[in-house]
Structure 1
């Protein structure tokens, strides 16, 4: 899903605006888990929270889907895969993981995706990768070992860790699908249209899986708790839909239009830091010093893996983009 960058956007003002948009996108995405976890703890099933998020965002983005309806004829497989993996798969696995492990840990595990993409490139596509990229994979794996505290016998819930890893694997599918349109030039699908149809497709899949007709709707009329502070549940849902989904995706896409995808992807790595800090402040989820150090190593490894070029000298990065995610400045172009 390539994004065309105009010549004028290379100016200082355009880059400044682009950096601001990228930071706004990272902040918006980073707050999704912090807003979702209180709803899950209040009694909503994680799948129901995902369905509310994706369906609400799909309705908001519906006008864009109508505008780009030609995509249904031109790229049906891309849209279907995008909805299944990049929207439904990532969100469902990530939110289910939140019900079992801390927000920061779930998101840091999800940031293994760039390293996993390298594995796809090396062993499935059989393309060589640089030593720096391989180093990024090793660093990310080592940092993850610190985050989950392997020396304590995996002190976190094993299923929660597997669900977070599943979110990372679904992101790999997102990167691979994005790469399919990388050589299309002017015929490349508009990223906003792909996002809109991805949300619609994801909402359709999640409706079958989550069966929202059995949801406890009364939870939304009550309150949820942020580290002991009561907050209207509907306000948290509105934040998830409007800010952490719609605004996050749109600002992410617009930032890539003003920056190179590499720069936007690097800025998006701040999402994990933002999510961890917000979870610490708002949810009281404190991480130990080794976990914080491990998280930093994961981010460094993800950055190296993300920005390293293939060893064969081809112009496109091996693993362009980055987490919730799905669809943002992290990986609008693979």
Structure 2
């Protein structure tokens, strides 16, 4: 298994930075759409387990041919990185989603999502402890501002009941999310991003199916029409979008972003997923965001900029690893 990541600050610049940010934004928007779409399916009789299995399974079917094409016959690269692919599928795909859905069975969605999205802080701590990449003061301030923005976006200032069991599941989901950013940013393995995405989705699908077979992940489906913003659509429409957009596109662009930006910056840009989730809930579920949530979204953007500025300062004072 290769090293998880060597996240060199300041690597991304110019077109590489612009491309990485574009991929990261597309990934965040795609992931952010999943919550609103899944809510309609859950209200229509689908279980969380069945929804996430179809989502990941469909994405695996779509991305697998692309992953094989990206390998170009270099099966030795896949064999050398088999451990990384399995770890990615179990933690970043199946683990993160299974733990998140388990968390929301015991607590509100907002607090569970906020706890999961402490992952960027975990990424910064890992890079500091494991690779000696000590965050500068600007990075720390940016992280704090982004965290405050998330609190406002999720409207937690009014207070929320936290279940110890739910918190434990949310922290486990955070580990999965942090693993997603760290493994996605690994540029030393030689494994193409599409191959990593395909392998992870296949492993994740198999793991979720196994959880369903043993009864740990309830599987319940329905062919009833699904309602969004007072409009009904066929049940297969949101499932198709969940698989193609919120999984296939989201994971592929997320890995591409991590390769260009590094795990630290990519993880903070991914905080836009929470903002996107609020906006899509507004459009599809008619859940209007409050003014405080809009302010929170702005703070998230400010925090992301702060993290990038902090990386540039770190790049000037830290030697580049050989």
For the criterion TM > 0.5, the same-fold answer is yes
2:84 is equivalent to residue 78 of structure 1: yes
Partner of 2:318: 313
Structure 2: distance between partners of 1:124 and 1:19: 25
Match of 1:35 among 34, 37, 40: 37
Supply the distance in 2 between the matched residues of 1:169 and 1:25 (Cα, whole angstroms).
19
Structure 2: 5+ residue stretches without partners: 7-12
1:289-300 equivalent positions in 2, closer than 5 A: 289-300=291-302
Question: Which residue number corresponds to residue 220 of structure 2?
Answer: 216
Is the CA contact 1:71–1:193 (under 8 Å) kept in the aligned structure 2? no
Query: 2:176 aligned with 1:167, yes or no?
Result: no
Query: Residue 132 of structure 1: SS of its match in structure 2?
Result: helix
1:114-151 CA deviation, whole Å, 9 max, x = no partner?
22211223345554221112212322343344455555
- Counterpart contact for 2:30–2:245, Cα < 8 Å: yes
Contact 1:97 1:106 (C-alpha < 8 Å) held by counterparts: yes
Alignment match, 1:137: 143
Tell me which residue corresponds to 1:90.
Answer: 96
**Maintained 8 Å contact 1:109/1:144:** no
Q: 1: CA distance between counterparts of 2:134 and 2:258?
A: 27
How many residues are matched?
301
TM-score, normalised to structure 1, is 0.72
Correspondence 1:39-118 to 2 at 5 A: 39-67=41-69, 68=71, 69-96=75-102, 101=108, 110-118=116-124
Q: Distance in 1 between matches of 2:101 and 2:309?
A: 27
- SS across alignment from 1:128: coil
Consecutive unaligned residues in structure 1, runs of 5 or more: 3-8, 317-334
Q: Secondary structure at the match of 1:230?
A: strand
Which residue of structure 1 aligns with residue 274 of structure 2? 272
Paired position in structure 2 for 1:191: 193
- Residue by residue, what CA displacement relative to the aligned partner does 1:45-69 show, whole Å, maximum 9, x if unpaired? 2122111111111112222344434
On the 8 A contact 1:111/1:299 being kept in 2, the answer is no
Give me the whole-angstrom Cα distance separating, in 2, the residues matched to 1:280 and 1:37. 12
Distance 1:306 1:288, change over 3 A: same
> 1:21·1:255 contact (CA, 8 Å) conserved in 2?
yes
**Distance in 2 between the 1:144 and 1:28 partners?**
18
Distance in 2 (alpha carbons) for counterparts of 1:245 and 1:206: 14
Give the Cα–Cα distance (whole angstroms) in 1 for the partners of residues 156 and 240 of structure 2.
37
Q: 2:236 aligns with which of 234, 237, 242?
A: 234
Decide which moves more: 83-92 or 262-271. Answer: 262-271
Closer, same or farther: CA 244–314 of 1 in aligned 2, 3 Å = farther
Structure-1 separation of matches of 2:159 and 2:266: 37
Task: Name the SS for the 1:61 alignment partner.
Answer: helix
Q: Which moved more, 1:294-303 or 1:47-56?
A: 294-303
Stretch deviating more after TM superposition (193-202 or 16-25): 16-25
| CA positional deviation for 1:226 | 1.6
Q: How much has 1:315 moved relative to structure 2?
A: 4.7
Q: Taking structure 1 as reference, are residues 91 and 302 closer, same or farther at Cα in structure 2, changes over 3 Å only?
A: farther
> Structure 2 length as normaliser, TM-score?
0.74
Question: 1:303 and 1:115, CA in 2 relative to 1: closer, same or farther beyond 3 A?
Answer: farther
Q: 1:237 to 1:23 in 2, by over 3 A?
A: same
C-alpha displacement of 1:237? 0.2
Name the structure 2 match of 1:330: none
- Give me the CA root mean square deviation: 3.9
Whether the 8 Å contact between 1:51 and 1:212 is mirrored in structure 2 is: no
1:38 is paired with a residue whose SS is: helix
Residues of 2 paired with 1:21 and 1:124: CA distance?
27
SS in 2 for 1:152: coil
